[in-house]
A and B are shown apart, each in its own frame.
Chain A
Amino acid sequence: MSIHDFLISPAEASKRTGPHDRIVMSSRVRLARNLTGLAFPGWAKKTERVKSLGVIRPAVETLPQMADHFADAMDNLSQLEKQILVERHLISREHAAKSAGSGLVLNREETISVMINEEDHLRMQALRPGLQLKHAWQAIDEVDSQLEKVLPYAYSQELGYLTACPTNLGTGIRVSAMLHLPGLVLSEQINQIITAVTKLGHAVRGLYGEGTEALGNIFQVSNQMTLGESETDILDRINKVLQQIIEHEENARATLVEKKPKVVFNHIGRAYGILANAHSISSKETMNLLSLMRLGIDLALFPGIERALVDELFLTTQPFHLQKLFGDKLAPEERDLRRADMLRERLQDVKRPNYKNVVPPPMTE
């Protein structure tokens, strides 16, 4: 079965719900593990990587958690297939660049993805919609406990799990949440929040775009330190930070609606106007405007329209999802036309925003 046939459709995938999913789009916990006695993938020769893939892949494929799964070597996947997986957040950009000697095992629900021979021999991650870091941790902890029975991990009493990069040493854990923060961006509080969160030892970055850009007002918050702190302490610490960001975002939205309704409604109304009527639109503009529509849905300006519609469009208007849908390689200009066609069609039944209907989020102290 090809990965295209295996993957859950964007419409279905966008319907997944979880706690706080107005703001927290998804939660992820990733563990880095290596095998003892073998060079790390970045230093290993191709023949060694092919050999270790041959040992690791069957061990992962026979896990009870992976009963129904997709597995393949990265050199068997086309560029398009790999990039679709990146756009779905199922593999890293780095992994998409790998070929012979690297592989992927993905479970049916797309909640567990194991990258083999990325920067480490194993990069396994659990994904959950909304804010569910504890659940994600439990899921991947179980996978790891199964694998340690059959794979000899590189582990030291002193330094913990040994990883290719010293930044992952110890627990090898990277906990992250994908956040939609239009309120903090519109109220120009986002830089303050980023500074505060960074000072607490966490990283904040725009998930899409280069450098300081955060297209679609989507940010990723993750832990930086992996050594000298237990997994549960790391989870508790980041959970506290996320609760605070959620609170600040809700307050920012409430304040905007109360103090600057015209500014908010202007942004949302224009976003709707362009998305529903444009005949050519770039991926960048689409993401930024969809973010505003998502905010409009959260504020109840689009009665009867589900957040899932925006989340689905967010995915299907990405360059490689678009390319897959329309076949062949589209030139960028061609892509912008198709993207606009798709948006107009999908939004034709969405009525203009109803400002009288606005429901501001409750303010918290």
Chain B
Amino acid sequence: MLCDVCKQIEAKVHLTQIVEGVTKKIDLCEACSKAKGVDDPTGFSLADLLLGLGAAQDATPAVAEETSQVTCPQCGFSHADFKKSGRLGCAACYETFADSLGSLLKSMHKGTRHVGKVPQAQKQTRDYSAALKALHQKLDQAIAAENFEQAAILRDEIKVAKHKLSENAPT
């Protein structure tokens, strides 16, 4: 049985609540049950949860069929494995399964873009690539203006910048 929220992962949490005399049932995967805060059944209202189910609900079933065949080229993990465990195989899986992860991430998090800490090396890589891009632009302008002396200086600077960028790349 698939999770009622994300429609992608095997449901492991099964809940029943009587809401105004009517028995309501919901089946959730581990991740969604955590995301909805229903690990503790006293702490949530099933009615609220069922009401909030709209968005992710209609989107996925059609894609689910074909995506379950996809396998990660880096680690061999399949979409079916993901459905079973709710976990991914490796970092590259996030690219492999990007399409089906989109709605899932939206339903569990505040946003779908990281806005927190950035590793120092990543920050520098970002700065170095920006600097390199600017140098290339200047070089194009210098060549267009037939300022070959300037172009030679810029080529040297580009060489240094490229070297810095490659040195900084995570190993």
Point out residues on A near B: beta carbons under 8 Å.
34, 36-40, 42-43, 119, 141, 144-145, 148-149, 152-162, 164-167, 169-171, 173, 191, 194-195, 197-199, 201-206, 211-212, 224-231
Chain A's closest residue to B34 (CB) is A167
Contact A224 B35 (CB under 8 A): yes
B111 proximity list for chain A (CB < 8 A)? 227-229
Residues of B within 8 A of A38 (CB): 90
Is the beta-carbon distance between B114 and A171 smaller than 8 angstroms? Answer: yes
Chain B contact residue count (CB 8 A cutoff):
45
Query: With A and B bound together, what is the CA distance between A145 and B121 in angstroms?
Result: 10
Contact with A along B98-110 (1 / 0, CB 8 A): 0001001100111
Contact across chains for B41 and A169 when beta carbons are under 8 A apart: no
Q: How far is the CA of A169 from the CA of B86 in the complex (A)?
A: 13
Residue B54 CB within 8 A of the other chain: no
Minimum distance in angstroms from B75 CB to a CB of chain A: 5
Q: How far is the CA of A157 from the CA of B126 in the complex (A)?
A: 10
CB of A148 within 8 A of CB of B45, answer no
Q: A43-B77, A166-B104 known; A224 and B37 CB under 8 Å?
A: yes
Known: A171-B117, A228-B112, A229-B116. A40 touches B90 (CB 8 A): yes
User: For A148, what are the chain B residues with a Cβ–Cβ distance below 8 Å?
Assistant: 119-121
Known contacts A164-B88, A201-B110, A228-B112; 5 further A-B pairs (Cβ under 8 A): A165-B88, A166-B101, A197-B43, A211-B41, A212-B41
Measured CB to CB, the nearest residue on chain A to B6 is: A166
0/1 string, B116-128, CB within 8 A of A gives 1: 1111111000100
Closest to B89 in A: A43
Are B108 and A166 closer than 8 Å at their CB atoms? yes
* A167-B35 contact in complex given A40-B90, A225-B110, A229-B115, C-beta closer than 8 Å: yes
Question: Smallest CB-CB separation from A153: which chain B residue?
Answer: B119
Question: How far does the alpha carbon of A86 sit from the alpha carbon of B87 in the complex, in Å?
Answer: 23
Q: Write out the residue numbers on chain B whose beta carbons fall within 8 Å of the beta carbon of A198.
A: 37, 43-44
